[in-house]
Chains A and B, each alone.
Chain A
Amino acid sequence: GAGVSQSPSNKVTEKGKDVELRCDPISGHTALYWYRQSLGQGLEFLIYFQGNSAPDKSGLPSDRFSAERTGGSVSTLTIQRTQQEDSAVYLCASSLDGGASYGYTFGSGTRLTVV
Chain B
Amino acid sequence: AQSVAQPEDQVNVAEGNPLTVKCTYSVSGNPYLFWYVQYPNRGLQFLLKYITGDNLVKGSYGFEAEFNKSQTSFHLKKPSALVSDSALYFCAVRETGSARQLTFGSGTQLTVLP
Contacts and interface: CB of A to CB of B under 8 A. Distances in A.
Interface of A: 4, 33, 35, 40-43, 45, 48, 50, 56, 59, 91, 93, 98, 100-101, 103-109
Interface stretch (B13-21, B38-46, B61-69, B70-78): B38-46
B106 A42 contact: yes
Cβ-closest 3 pairs across A and B: A106-B43, A42-B106, A43-B104
Interface string B91-110: 00010110011111111000
Contacts of A108: 41-43
B46 A101 contact: no
Interface of B: 9, 32, 34, 36, 41-46, 49, 51, 90, 94, 96-97, 100-107
A91 B36 CA distance: 14
Contact of A42 (B45, B51, B97, B107): B107
Nearest to A56: B100
Given A100-B94, A101-B51, A41 B46 contact: no
A104 B46 contact: yes
Given A42-B107, A101-B51, 7 more contacts: A4-B43, A41-B106, A42-B104, A42-B106, A48-B101, A98-B100, A106-B43
Nearest to A34: B101
A105 B46 contact: yes
A102 B41 CA distance: 24
A104 B107 CA distance: 17
22 contacts: A33-B101, A40-B106, A42-B90, A42-B104, A43-B44, A43-B90, A43-B104, A48-B100, A56-B100, A59-B101, A91-B43, A93-B43, A100-B94, A101-B49, A101-B51, A104-B46, A104-B102, A105-B46, A106-B44, A107-B43, A108-B42, A109-B43
B2 to A, nearest CB: 11
Contacts of A33: 101-102
